[in-house]
């Protein structure tokens, strides 16, 4: 191999390695024109460092976690993609539990090795994309994959984070679940989204919330009153307590969220206690709502002097 050709090949390898987080596959080196003897020579000289079967780190053996993910995908062959908790970590919506890498491969794909959990599936190409140049399952497929592997709280946090990072649109996700009805992971995600976007009518909300407030020891509130320039759902002037209820929690735009923060801050600055409950809580978690109202009201209720002889 001529010296000039070697220089050119080295440049192409460096470009490829930079694009792939420091790693290259044996098949890619062969496609560039390297022979097996040339590859073995570079391994012996410390220019290539085997990190997985058929995958090398270029120049130095240390690679980042993204490099480890890319190496795992490359080692599993054509069409393999990062998936499950590894994909969720790449998308930034959920942390990994350990150093095992999850990769999805076609049903006839290459058998993977130690440190890789291979998930065989058909139709993988429809759920595959690239992020930071790493082949990975789409955000929706990733959420479906982790839905039965993480606790409910962690799944809700992942959906919230995916929404915040604009990886998904909750309405599109909910519609996609209907299309994928019966697939693995659909049920827990549907239950979560239905809970998060559950909305009562104004009359139904009042009918269910007011008895909860009474059981908590609160008197009748003002409803739809204007407080500090904002319309609020329920207001107890004697307690300095404002309660608002949120439906469609995942559907708040950034501008609406900013207005919510300003409203909450304004009430707090005025010395009021401000509580928010979801419509789902009012309908299905009444005991929790009651307990919270009772605790807050006991702290906000004025002390009656003289009852103890003081």
Q: Which residues pair with 277 in a beta bridge?
A: 245
Q: Which residues pair with 55 in a beta bridge?
A: 25, 52
| Radius of gyration over every alpha carbon of the chain, rounded to an integer in angstroms | 28
Token pair recorded at residue 67: 């490099």
Instruction: Say which DSSP state 221 is in.
Output: P
Long-range contacts of range 27-36, CB-CB < 8 Å, 24 or more positions apart? 27/54, 28/74, 29/56, 33/5, 33/9, 34/9, 35/1
Report pLDDT for 127: 95
Sites in the chain below the pLDDT cut of 50: 1-4, 303-310
What structural domains and CATH numbers belong to the chain?
12-63 (no CATH), 68-196 (no CATH), 202-300 (3.40.960.10)
Alpha-carbon distance of 217 to 236, in angstroms, equals 12
Token pair recorded at residue 230: 């904002």
Report pLDDT for 96: 95
DSSP string, 265-293: HHHHHTT-EEEEEEHHHHHH-HHHHHHHH
pTM of this structure = 0.75
Distance between terminal CA atoms of the chain?
100
DSSP string, 113-151: -TTEEEEEESSGGGGEEEETTEEEE-HHHHHHHHTTTS-
């Amino acid at each position: 191999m001529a010296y000039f050709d070697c220089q050119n090949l080295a440049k192409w390898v460096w470009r490829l390695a930079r694009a792939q987080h420091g790693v290259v596959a044996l098949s890619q080196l062969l496609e560039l024109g390297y022979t097996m003897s040339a590859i073995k020579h570079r391994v012996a000289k410390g220019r290539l460092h085997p990190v997985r079967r058929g995958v090398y780190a270029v120049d130095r053996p240390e690679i980042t976690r993204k490099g480890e993910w890319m190496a795992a995908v490359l080692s599993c062959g054509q069409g393999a993609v990062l998936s499950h908790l590894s994909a969720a970590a790449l998308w930034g919506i959920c942390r990994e539990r350990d150093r095992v890498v999850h990769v999805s491969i076609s049903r006839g794909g290459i058998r993977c090795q130690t440190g890789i959990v291979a998930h065989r599936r058909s139709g993988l190409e429809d759920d595959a994309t690239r992020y930071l140049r790493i082949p990975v399952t789409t955000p929706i497929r990733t959420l479906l994959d982790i839905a039965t592997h993480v606790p409910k709280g962690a799944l809700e946090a992942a959906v919230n984070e995916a929404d915040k990072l604009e990886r998904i649109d909750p309405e599109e996700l909910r519609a996609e679940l209907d299309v994928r009805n019966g697939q693995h992971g659909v049920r827990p995600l549907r239950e979560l989204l239905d809970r998060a976007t559950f909305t009562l009518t104004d009359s139904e909300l009042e009918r269910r919330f007011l008895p909860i407030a009474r059981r908590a020891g609160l008197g009748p509130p003002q409803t739809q009153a204007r407080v500090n320039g904002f319309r609020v759902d329920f207001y107890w002037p004697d307690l300095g307590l404002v309660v608002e209820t949120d439906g469609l929690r995942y559907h708040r735009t950034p501008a609406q969220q900013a207005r919510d923060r300003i409203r909450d801050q304004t009430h707090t600055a005025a010395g009021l206690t401000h509580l928010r409950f979801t419509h789902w809580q009012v309908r299905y978690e009444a005991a929790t709502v009651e307990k919270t109202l009772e605790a807050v009201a006991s702290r906000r209720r004025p002390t009656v002097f003289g009852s103890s002889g003081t």
